[in-house]
Structure formats: structure tokens, C-alpha cells
Amino acid sequence: MKIIIEGIDRLGKDTLQSGIINTFGYHHVIHYSSPKNTNFYKNDDGFDEQFWFQHDSFLNGFDLLEKDGKFIYNRFHLGEFVYSQRYRNYDGSYVFGIEKMFRRACQNVKLILLCTSNFDMMEDDGKSHDFSKRELEQADFYKAFEMSHVEHKYKVDVAASDGSGYRSRESILDEVVTKLKNGD
């Protein structure tokens, strides 16, 4: 099984990743983080080194998704679409062109977008790009989710329906496991 977990900060991606491994066994976990500024990617082409670092990371990531194996990508290419335009001053929509290059990967991977219908439950841990922009970031993730060529994709709301905060870890995991098994 190959899984991508996406969504804004503070929605439980790490917790879900652990639950999936507990349920389905070993998966190689790849945790994408912010791009790095490296001398390797410095050039005069008008793009900065963060763009090329990310571009290469997604090419390699999709290449790996076309191979046999069990993988979980904790954050991946949809975040590039969201965060590049908002915080890095370049257009991240190139990731959808990369998806088109890797059709087999897009047919076989399962994309889980964690989201929330209740932003009031969230607390700033100081690690987000800009905590005050979380609603706008989520709207960008929805747009990226719709634009994505990944065939099996699921939105999972982590907020309790009664407005009391987060749903239990178990109920979120149960929903995801059902979606992964049944493809509904």
C-alpha cells in the first residue's frame, strides 16, 4: 500500500501515520519538510534553489511510488502547491505536471487529506508558517486536492461533529482504514 497524508499543521498527520502502521504493518515513512537552500541548486535561471530542491524531491518521490513497496508520505506534493505560492514566492502548480508524468503512481497511491470544520479547536504550537493563515491554507489544500490526478483520494474531517474539539484518534483511524480497504 502506498499512502500520502496531507493537510495543514496540527491535524494529526503523525498520529494517523502511526495508526496506519499499527494496523497494516511496516511501511517505509518519508516525511517531507520545508525545502532547503543548498549551493547545489544555485544558478542564474530565475528560479531559486528552493524550487529546484523541491522539484527534484517530488520527481524522486513519485519515481519511488511507481516501485514495489509499502510507503507512507507524511506531507508531499500538495503542500508544495499550498506553501510555495503563499510563503516562497513561486508557483507550485508544477506538481500537477509531475503527477501526469507518473500515471501508475497516481493510480496506485491513496491520498488522505486531513481537514477540519472547526478551526477554534486548534492551538498554535509555534511551528506553523503562519498560524493565522490556517483557514486560507486549508482552502488551498482543497483546491490542490481537486486539481490532483491521484485517483484514490479522501478528505477526512478531524473535528468532532458536536464542536467539542478533535475526534478521537481511533475514530479518525477507523474512517481512514475503512476508506483504504474499501476505496469508498
- CATH number for the domain harbouring residue 136: 3.40.50.300
Look up the domain containing 151 and give its range: 2-182
Q: Are 65 and 108 in contact (CB under 8 A)?
A: yes
Q: What is the pLDDT of residues 40-76, one digit of tens each?
A: 767 766 567 788 889 999 999 999 999 999 999 999 9
- Per the listing, cell 500538495 goes with 78
The Cα–Cα gap between 7 and 64 comes to 21
What whole-number percentage of the chain has pLDDT above 70?
90
- Grid coordinates of 108: 496506485
| Paired residues of 28 in beta bridges | 71
pTM passes above 0.75: yes
Q: What is the pLDDT of residues 136-158, one digit of tens each?
A: 999 999 999 999 999 999 999 99
The Cα–Cα gap between 55 and 51 comes to 6
Give, to the nearest 10 degrees, the angle between helix 13-24 and helix 169-182.
60
Domains: count for the chain? 1
